[in-house]
Amino acid sequence: MDHFNYQPDGRLFAENVPVEDIANNFGTPCYVYSRATLERHWKAFDEAAGDHPHLVCYAVKANSNLAILSVLAKLGSGFDIVSGGELARVIEAGGDTSKVVFSGVGKTSEEIEFALDAGVGCFNVESEPELHRIANVAGRLGKVANISIRVNPDVDAGTHPYISTGLKENKFGIAIEHAPAVYQQAMAYDQLKIVGVDCHIGSQLTELDPFLDALERVLALIDQLAELGIEIEHLDVGGGLGVPYKDETPPHPSEYAHALRQRLIDRPNLKLIFEPGRAIAANAGILLTKVEFLKPTEEKHFAIVDAAMNDLIRPSLYSAYQSIQPANTSLDRKSDIYDVVGPVCETGDFLGKDRELAIAEGDLLVVRSAGAYGFCMASNYNSRPRPPEVLVDSDNAIEVRRRETFADLWKGEVVLP
Protein backbone atom coordinates (compact mmCIF):
# COMPACT_ATOMS: atom_id res chain seq x y z
CA MET A 1 0.00 0.00 0.00
CA ASP A 2 1.26 3.44 -0.87
CA HIS A 3 0.01 6.97 -0.58
CA PHE A 4 -0.25 7.79 -4.29
CA ASN A 5 -3.96 7.66 -5.12
CA TYR A 6 -6.33 8.97 -7.76
CA GLN A 7 -9.07 11.20 -6.42
CA PRO A 8 -12.62 11.02 -7.80
CA ASP A 9 -11.88 14.00 -10.10
CA GLY A 10 -9.25 11.88 -11.89
CA ARG A 11 -6.16 13.61 -10.49
CA LEU A 12 -3.32 11.68 -8.88
CA PHE A 13 -2.33 12.84 -5.42
CA ALA A 14 0.86 12.23 -3.45
CA GLU A 15 -0.55 12.08 0.08
CA ASN A 16 -2.63 15.33 0.15
CA VAL A 17 -0.93 17.10 -2.73
CA PRO A 18 -1.98 16.89 -6.40
CA VAL A 19 1.07 15.82 -8.38
CA GLU A 20 0.13 18.44 -11.01
CA ASP A 21 0.86 21.11 -8.40
CA ILE A 22 4.27 19.57 -7.73
CA ALA A 23 5.07 19.62 -11.46
CA ASN A 24 3.94 23.26 -11.68
CA ASN A 25 6.09 24.27 -8.71
CA PHE A 26 9.23 22.27 -9.34
CA GLY A 27 9.08 21.50 -13.07
CA THR A 28 9.60 18.15 -14.80
CA PRO A 29 11.16 15.65 -14.75
CA CYS A 30 10.87 15.41 -10.99
CA TYR A 31 11.07 12.62 -8.43
CA VAL A 32 8.37 12.65 -5.75
CA TYR A 33 8.46 10.61 -2.53
CA SER A 34 5.84 10.00 0.14
CA ARG A 35 7.03 10.13 3.73
CA ALA A 36 3.99 8.23 5.03
CA THR A 37 4.69 5.40 2.58
CA LEU A 38 8.35 5.14 3.56
CA GLU A 39 7.44 5.02 7.22
CA ARG A 40 4.70 2.48 6.63
CA HIS A 41 7.04 0.14 4.75
CA TRP A 42 9.82 0.39 7.33
CA LYS A 43 7.37 -0.26 10.16
CA ALA A 44 5.95 -3.29 8.30
CA PHE A 45 9.32 -5.02 8.80
CA ASP A 46 9.86 -3.72 12.28
CA GLU A 47 6.41 -4.66 13.58
CA ALA A 48 6.38 -8.09 11.93
CA ALA A 49 9.61 -8.99 13.69
CA GLY A 50 7.78 -8.11 16.91
CA ASP A 51 9.52 -8.98 20.13
CA HIS A 52 12.16 -11.16 18.48
CA PRO A 53 15.42 -9.18 18.80
CA HIS A 54 15.91 -7.48 15.44
CA LEU A 55 17.16 -4.47 13.54
CA VAL A 56 15.91 -3.12 10.22
CA CYS A 57 18.93 -1.76 8.34
CA TYR A 58 17.61 0.15 5.35
CA ALA A 59 19.82 -0.46 2.26
CA VAL A 60 21.06 3.05 1.51
CA LYS A 61 21.87 2.22 -2.11
CA ALA A 62 18.17 2.03 -2.97
CA ASN A 63 17.65 5.74 -2.34
CA SER A 64 20.28 7.71 -0.49
CA ASN A 65 18.68 11.16 -0.34
CA LEU A 66 19.48 12.70 3.05
CA ALA A 67 15.83 13.49 3.70
CA ILE A 68 14.89 9.84 3.27
CA LEU A 69 17.74 8.65 5.45
CA SER A 70 16.74 11.16 8.14
CA VAL A 71 13.07 10.07 8.06
CA LEU A 72 14.20 6.48 8.63
CA ALA A 73 16.85 7.44 11.20
CA LYS A 74 14.09 9.11 13.23
CA LEU A 75 12.22 5.79 13.27
CA GLY A 76 15.33 4.17 14.77
CA SER A 77 16.46 2.50 11.56
CA GLY A 78 19.84 0.97 11.05
CA PHE A 79 21.54 1.22 7.65
CA ASP A 80 23.19 -1.20 5.24
CA ILE A 81 25.96 0.63 3.40
CA VAL A 82 28.37 -0.34 0.64
CA SER A 83 30.76 2.61 0.46
CA GLY A 84 32.42 5.40 2.39
CA GLY A 85 30.10 7.81 0.61
CA GLU A 86 27.04 6.01 1.92
CA LEU A 87 28.48 6.07 5.43
CA ALA A 88 29.08 9.81 5.11
CA ARG A 89 25.45 10.25 4.06
CA VAL A 90 24.19 8.25 7.05
CA ILE A 91 26.26 10.40 9.40
CA GLU A 92 25.11 13.61 7.69
CA ALA A 93 21.48 12.48 8.00
CA GLY A 94 21.84 11.85 11.74
CA GLY A 95 21.88 8.04 11.54
CA ASP A 96 23.25 5.95 14.39
CA THR A 97 26.54 4.47 13.16
CA SER A 98 26.41 1.68 15.72
CA LYS A 99 23.41 0.42 13.73
CA VAL A 100 25.31 0.37 10.44
CA VAL A 101 26.31 -2.82 8.65
CA PHE A 102 28.97 -2.42 5.96
CA SER A 103 28.56 -4.73 2.95
CA GLY A 104 30.32 -4.76 -0.43
CA VAL A 105 33.04 -6.80 -2.12
CA GLY A 106 35.67 -4.11 -2.57
CA LYS A 107 36.08 -2.16 0.67
CA THR A 108 39.24 -0.05 0.50
CA SER A 109 41.58 0.43 3.46
CA GLU A 110 40.47 4.08 3.61
CA GLU A 111 36.81 3.05 3.79
CA ILE A 112 37.55 0.48 6.49
CA GLU A 113 39.43 3.08 8.52
CA PHE A 114 36.60 5.60 8.12
CA ALA A 115 34.07 2.96 9.21
CA LEU A 116 36.13 1.94 12.26
CA ASP A 117 36.56 5.56 13.30
CA ALA A 118 32.83 6.12 12.85
CA GLY A 119 32.07 3.07 15.01
CA VAL A 120 30.00 1.05 12.53
CA GLY A 121 28.15 -1.90 14.02
CA CYS A 122 29.50 -4.64 11.78
CA PHE A 123 31.50 -5.40 8.64
CA ASN A 124 29.91 -7.95 6.35
CA VAL A 125 33.07 -9.62 5.08
CA GLU A 126 32.87 -10.83 1.49
CA SER A 127 36.26 -12.53 0.96
CA GLU A 128 39.30 -13.89 2.78
CA PRO A 129 41.62 -11.09 1.66
CA GLU A 130 39.07 -8.58 2.92
CA LEU A 131 39.10 -10.28 6.33
CA HIS A 132 42.87 -9.83 6.53
CA ARG A 133 42.62 -6.23 5.35
CA ILE A 134 40.06 -5.38 8.05
CA ALA A 135 42.27 -7.08 10.66
CA ASN A 136 45.30 -5.10 9.49
CA VAL A 137 43.53 -1.75 9.56
CA ALA A 138 41.90 -2.45 12.94
CA GLY A 139 45.26 -3.58 14.34
CA ARG A 140 46.98 -0.42 13.10
CA LEU A 141 44.26 1.75 14.68
CA GLY A 142 44.16 -0.25 17.90
CA LYS A 143 40.46 -0.95 17.43
CA VAL A 144 38.27 -4.04 17.41
CA ALA A 145 36.17 -4.65 14.30
CA ASN A 146 32.89 -6.51 14.63
CA ILE A 147 32.56 -8.89 11.73
CA SER A 148 30.07 -11.14 10.09
CA ILE A 149 30.86 -13.27 7.08
CA ARG A 150 28.62 -12.92 4.07
CA VAL A 151 28.06 -16.46 2.93
CA ASN A 152 26.98 -17.46 -0.51
CA PRO A 153 24.46 -20.29 -0.01
CA ASP A 154 24.23 -21.18 -3.73
CA VAL A 155 20.49 -20.61 -3.90
CA ASP A 156 18.77 -19.50 -7.08
CA ALA A 157 16.83 -16.35 -6.22
CA GLY A 158 14.78 -16.68 -9.40
CA THR A 159 15.27 -13.05 -10.34
CA HIS A 160 16.97 -11.10 -13.15
CA PRO A 161 20.52 -12.44 -13.65
CA TYR A 162 22.02 -8.97 -13.13
CA ILE A 163 20.50 -8.72 -9.64
CA SER A 164 20.97 -12.32 -8.50
CA THR A 165 23.78 -12.57 -5.97
CA GLY A 166 23.51 -15.89 -4.14
CA LEU A 167 24.78 -18.30 -6.79
CA LYS A 168 28.27 -19.79 -6.86
CA GLU A 169 29.01 -17.95 -10.09
CA ASN A 170 28.33 -14.53 -8.45
CA LYS A 171 31.10 -12.33 -7.06
CA PHE A 172 29.42 -11.89 -3.68
CA GLY A 173 30.20 -13.54 -0.36
CA ILE A 174 32.15 -16.65 0.58
CA ALA A 175 30.94 -20.11 -0.44
CA ILE A 176 29.02 -21.45 2.54
CA GLU A 177 31.11 -24.63 2.74
CA HIS A 178 34.31 -22.57 3.11
CA ALA A 179 32.82 -20.28 5.75
CA PRO A 180 33.82 -22.33 8.85
CA ALA A 181 37.49 -22.19 7.83
CA VAL A 182 37.30 -18.43 7.33
CA TYR A 183 35.58 -17.96 10.71
CA GLN A 184 38.43 -19.91 12.25
CA GLN A 185 40.92 -17.53 10.64
CA ALA A 186 38.94 -14.63 12.09
CA MET A 187 39.11 -16.25 15.55
CA ALA A 188 42.88 -16.00 15.40
CA TYR A 189 42.80 -12.19 15.35
CA ASP A 190 42.37 -10.34 18.67
CA GLN A 191 41.23 -7.24 16.80
CA LEU A 192 38.28 -9.03 15.17
CA LYS A 193 35.11 -9.90 17.04
CA ILE A 194 32.83 -12.39 15.35
CA VAL A 195 29.24 -11.27 15.80
CA GLY A 196 27.21 -12.59 12.91
CA VAL A 197 26.50 -14.45 9.73
CA ASP A 198 25.20 -12.58 6.70
CA CYS A 199 23.50 -13.70 3.52
CA HIS A 200 21.90 -11.71 0.69
CA ILE A 201 20.82 -13.75 -2.31
CA GLY A 202 19.49 -11.17 -4.73
CA SER A 203 16.99 -8.44 -5.34
CA GLN A 204 13.34 -8.27 -6.46
CA LEU A 205 12.53 -11.75 -5.16
CA THR A 206 8.85 -12.53 -5.49
CA GLU A 207 8.72 -15.91 -3.71
CA LEU A 208 9.48 -16.90 -0.12
CA ASP A 209 11.09 -20.24 -0.93
CA PRO A 210 14.55 -19.00 -1.96
CA PHE A 211 14.74 -16.96 1.27
CA LEU A 212 13.72 -19.98 3.33
CA ASP A 213 16.13 -22.31 1.52
CA ALA A 214 18.95 -19.89 2.20
CA LEU A 215 17.85 -19.56 5.83
CA GLU A 216 17.95 -23.34 6.35
CA ARG A 217 21.50 -23.47 5.03
CA VAL A 218 22.64 -20.55 7.13
CA LEU A 219 21.06 -21.97 10.30
CA ALA A 220 22.90 -25.24 9.65
CA LEU A 221 26.11 -23.23 9.37
CA ILE A 222 25.39 -21.48 12.67
CA ASP A 223 25.03 -24.90 14.35
CA GLN A 224 28.25 -26.08 12.74
CA LEU A 225 30.05 -22.96 14.02
CA ALA A 226 28.67 -23.56 17.52
CA GLU A 227 30.32 -26.97 17.47
CA LEU A 228 33.60 -25.22 16.68
CA GLY A 229 33.04 -22.95 19.68
CA ILE A 230 32.08 -19.93 17.54
CA GLU A 231 29.03 -18.20 18.90
CA ILE A 232 26.89 -16.16 16.52
CA GLU A 233 24.87 -13.25 17.94
CA HIS A 234 23.06 -12.12 14.83
CA LEU A 235 21.78 -13.44 11.56
CA ASP A 236 21.66 -10.86 8.79
CA VAL A 237 19.24 -12.09 6.14
CA GLY A 238 20.03 -9.29 3.70
CA GLY A 239 17.44 -7.51 1.60
CA GLY A 240 15.88 -8.57 -1.65
CA LEU A 241 12.16 -8.68 -1.00
CA GLY A 242 10.44 -7.71 -4.25
CA VAL A 243 7.66 -5.25 -4.92
CA PRO A 244 4.77 -5.24 -7.41
CA TYR A 245 5.87 -3.30 -10.51
CA LYS A 246 3.26 -4.89 -12.78
CA ASP A 247 1.49 -8.11 -11.87
CA GLU A 248 4.00 -9.64 -9.47
CA THR A 249 2.60 -10.71 -6.11
CA PRO A 250 5.60 -10.75 -3.77
CA PRO A 251 5.02 -11.64 -0.13
CA HIS A 252 4.14 -8.68 2.06
CA PRO A 253 7.03 -7.66 4.35
CA SER A 254 5.04 -8.85 7.35
CA GLU A 255 4.44 -12.26 5.73
CA TYR A 256 8.14 -12.51 4.94
CA ALA A 257 9.26 -11.48 8.42
CA HIS A 258 6.73 -13.82 10.05
CA ALA A 259 7.97 -16.74 7.95
CA LEU A 260 11.55 -16.10 9.06
CA ARG A 261 10.51 -15.66 12.67
CA GLN A 262 8.69 -18.98 12.60
CA ARG A 263 11.98 -20.71 11.90
CA LEU A 264 13.72 -18.91 14.72
CA ILE A 265 11.27 -19.85 17.47
CA ASP A 266 13.82 -22.15 19.07
CA ARG A 267 16.53 -19.47 18.78
CA PRO A 268 15.00 -16.57 20.70
CA ASN A 269 18.35 -14.87 21.22
CA LEU A 270 19.54 -14.92 17.63
CA LYS A 271 19.09 -11.31 16.58
CA LEU A 272 17.62 -10.88 13.11
CA ILE A 273 18.95 -8.15 10.83
CA PHE A 274 17.05 -7.14 7.68
CA GLU A 275 18.56 -5.05 4.88
CA PRO A 276 15.55 -4.05 2.79
CA GLY A 277 15.97 -1.35 0.18
CA ARG A 278 13.47 -1.73 -2.63
CA ALA A 279 10.62 -2.95 -0.40
CA ILE A 280 10.85 0.28 1.57
CA ALA A 281 11.56 2.83 -1.14
CA ALA A 282 10.29 1.65 -4.55
CA ASN A 283 6.59 2.26 -4.14
CA ALA A 284 7.23 5.31 -1.99
CA GLY A 285 8.32 7.23 -5.07
CA ILE A 286 7.22 8.27 -8.56
CA LEU A 287 8.86 10.11 -11.43
CA LEU A 288 6.88 12.95 -13.03
CA THR A 289 7.54 13.62 -16.69
CA LYS A 290 5.90 15.76 -19.38
CA VAL A 291 4.98 14.66 -22.90
CA GLU A 292 7.02 16.83 -25.26
CA PHE A 293 5.90 15.34 -28.56
CA LEU A 294 3.73 12.58 -29.93
CA LYS A 295 5.52 11.12 -32.93
CA PRO A 296 3.55 8.60 -35.00
CA THR A 297 5.65 6.60 -37.44
CA GLU A 298 4.75 3.71 -39.73
CA GLU A 299 6.13 1.14 -37.31
CA LYS A 300 5.51 2.66 -33.90
CA HIS A 301 3.97 5.58 -32.14
CA PHE A 302 6.36 7.35 -29.82
CA ALA A 303 5.53 9.51 -26.85
CA ILE A 304 8.69 11.57 -26.39
CA VAL A 305 8.86 12.70 -22.78
CA ASP A 306 11.28 14.95 -20.88
CA ALA A 307 12.63 12.16 -18.63
CA ALA A 308 15.16 9.74 -20.05
CA MET A 309 17.38 6.76 -19.28
CA ASN A 310 19.81 9.10 -17.52
CA ASP A 311 17.04 9.91 -15.00
CA LEU A 312 15.69 6.37 -14.63
CA ILE A 313 17.87 3.62 -16.05
CA ARG A 314 16.03 0.50 -14.85
CA PRO A 315 13.96 -0.01 -18.05
CA SER A 316 17.07 0.34 -20.26
CA LEU A 317 19.38 -1.65 -18.00
CA TYR A 318 17.20 -4.62 -17.04
CA SER A 319 14.25 -4.26 -19.44
CA ALA A 320 12.44 -3.54 -16.18
CA TYR A 321 8.74 -2.77 -16.37
CA GLN A 322 7.54 0.34 -14.59
CA SER A 323 3.93 1.40 -14.84
CA ILE A 324 3.29 4.68 -16.68
CA GLN A 325 0.05 6.57 -16.13
CA PRO A 326 -1.42 10.00 -16.86
CA ALA A 327 -1.40 12.32 -13.84
CA ASN A 328 -4.98 13.26 -14.69
CA THR A 329 -7.28 10.58 -16.09
CA SER A 330 -10.26 12.88 -16.62
CA LEU A 331 -8.84 14.66 -19.68
CA ASP A 332 -10.57 13.93 -22.99
CA ARG A 333 -7.91 12.05 -24.95
CA LYS A 334 -7.79 9.42 -27.66
CA SER A 335 -6.07 6.21 -26.63
CA ASP A 336 -3.16 4.74 -28.59
CA ILE A 337 -0.22 2.36 -28.12
CA TYR A 338 3.06 4.17 -27.48
CA ASP A 339 6.69 3.54 -26.79
CA VAL A 340 7.45 6.10 -24.08
CA VAL A 341 10.95 7.34 -24.85
CA GLY A 342 13.31 10.06 -23.68
CA PRO A 343 15.45 12.62 -25.52
CA VAL A 344 18.76 10.77 -25.02
CA CYS A 345 20.61 9.67 -28.15
CA GLU A 346 20.39 5.93 -27.54
CA THR A 347 17.93 3.45 -29.00
CA GLY A 348 17.84 1.89 -25.55
CA ASP A 349 16.47 5.10 -24.07
CA PHE A 350 12.94 4.16 -23.15
CA LEU A 351 10.81 4.20 -20.04
CA GLY A 352 8.18 1.81 -21.35
CA LYS A 353 7.27 -0.04 -24.52
CA ASP A 354 3.90 -0.72 -26.13
CA ARG A 355 1.89 1.10 -23.50
CA GLU A 356 -1.74 1.96 -24.07
CA LEU A 357 -2.14 5.59 -23.08
CA ALA A 358 -4.76 8.30 -23.64
CA ILE A 359 -2.48 11.35 -23.82
CA ALA A 360 -1.72 14.57 -25.69
CA GLU A 361 1.34 16.79 -25.98
CA GLY A 362 1.98 18.73 -22.80
CA ASP A 363 0.33 16.12 -20.56
CA LEU A 364 1.92 15.08 -17.30
CA LEU A 365 2.80 11.39 -16.93
CA VAL A 366 3.71 9.44 -13.82
CA VAL A 367 6.23 6.59 -13.75
CA ARG A 368 5.30 4.52 -10.72
CA SER A 369 7.55 2.52 -8.36
CA ALA A 370 10.47 4.85 -8.98
CA GLY A 371 11.49 5.47 -5.37
CA ALA A 372 14.19 2.76 -5.33
CA TYR A 373 17.10 2.59 -7.77
CA GLY A 374 15.74 5.68 -9.48
CA PHE A 375 17.47 8.96 -8.72
CA CYS A 376 20.45 7.21 -7.11
CA MET A 377 21.28 5.55 -10.45
CA ALA A 378 20.73 8.74 -12.46
CA SER A 379 23.58 10.25 -14.45
CA ASN A 380 24.32 13.39 -16.43
CA TYR A 381 24.61 11.53 -19.73
CA ASN A 382 23.97 13.83 -22.70
CA SER A 383 24.76 16.68 -20.26
CA ARG A 384 21.31 16.52 -18.79
CA PRO A 385 21.05 18.11 -15.33
CA ARG A 386 19.58 15.63 -12.86
CA PRO A 387 16.00 16.25 -11.73
CA PRO A 388 14.90 17.57 -8.34
CA GLU A 389 13.59 15.32 -5.58
CA VAL A 390 10.51 16.34 -3.63
CA LEU A 391 9.33 14.69 -0.42
CA VAL A 392 5.65 14.98 0.35
CA ASP A 393 4.70 14.99 4.01
CA SER A 394 0.92 15.22 4.27
CA ASP A 395 0.04 18.68 2.81
CA ASN A 396 3.64 19.77 2.31
CA ALA A 397 5.80 19.19 -0.76
CA ILE A 398 9.40 19.84 0.27
CA GLU A 399 12.19 20.10 -2.28
CA VAL A 400 14.82 17.80 -0.75
CA ARG A 401 17.25 18.14 -3.63
CA ARG A 402 17.10 20.96 -6.13
CA ARG A 403 17.29 20.49 -9.87
CA GLU A 404 20.86 20.66 -11.13
CA THR A 405 21.94 23.69 -13.12
CA PHE A 406 24.22 23.76 -16.16
CA ALA A 407 27.02 24.99 -13.87
CA ASP A 408 26.53 21.83 -11.75
CA LEU A 409 27.28 19.83 -14.90
CA TRP A 410 30.88 20.99 -15.03
CA LYS A 411 31.50 21.43 -11.33
CA GLY A 412 35.13 20.42 -10.65
CA GLU A 413 36.14 20.60 -14.32
CA VAL A 414 38.60 23.11 -15.76
CA VAL A 415 38.99 24.87 -19.08
CA LEU A 416 42.63 24.75 -20.19
CA PRO A 417 44.29 28.17 -20.45
Ligand X SMILES: N[C@@H](CCCC[NH3+])C(=O)O
Site of interaction with ligand PLP (CB under 6 A): 59, 62, 80, 103, 200, 203, 238-241, 275-279
Residue 270 CA: distances (Å) to CA of 126, 196, 302: 21, 9, 54
Binding residue (CB under 6 A) for ligand X from 37, 203, 328, 369: 203
Catalytic pick among 30, 57, 122, 345: 345
Query: Quick check: is 30 catalytic?
Result: no
Rg of the chain in Å (alpha carbons):
23
In this structure, how many other beta carbons lie within 10 angstroms of the beta carbon of residue 81?
30
Q: Which does 314 bind (CB under 5 to 8 A by kind): ligand PLP, ligand X, none?
A: ligand X
Concatenating the DSSP letter of every residue in 4-19 gives EEE-TTSBEEETTEEH
Burial (Cβ within 10 Å: 0-12, 13-18, ≥19) of residue 381:
middle
Single-letter code of the amino acid located at 173? G
**Nearer Cβ to ligand X (112/243):** 243
Q: Which does 103 bind (CB under 5 to 8 A by kind): ligand X, ligand PLP, none?
A: ligand PLP
Residue 180 is assigned to a ligand binding site: no
Residue 161 is assigned to a ligand binding site: no
For residue 297, the minimal CB distance to ligand X (Å) is 30
DSSP conformational letter for 100: E
Bridge partner list, 284 = none
For residue 250, the minimal CB distance to ligand PLP (Å) is 11
Please name which of 91, 17, 42 lies closest in space to residue 5, comparing C-alpha atoms.
17
Report whether the peptide linkage leading into residue 29 is cis, meaning its omega lies within 30 degrees of zero: yes
**Nearer Cβ to ligand X (2/80):** 80
Using CB under 6 A, which residues numbered 312 to 371 contact ligand X? 314
The four Cα atoms 327, 332, 335, 338 give a dihedral, to 10 degrees, of: -40
Q: Which does 276 bind (CB under 5 to 8 A by kind): ligand X, ligand PLP, none?
A: ligand PLP
Binding residue (CB under 6 A) for ligand X from 4, 58, 373, 375: 373
For residue 150, the minimal CB distance to ligand PLP (Å) is 7
83 contributes a contact to ligand X by CB under 6 A? no
Q: Which residues are catalytic?
A: 345
Rule CB under 6 A: which residues touch ligand X? 61, 163, 203-204, 314, 373
Residues annotated within a binding site: 240, 275-278, 314, 318, 346, 373
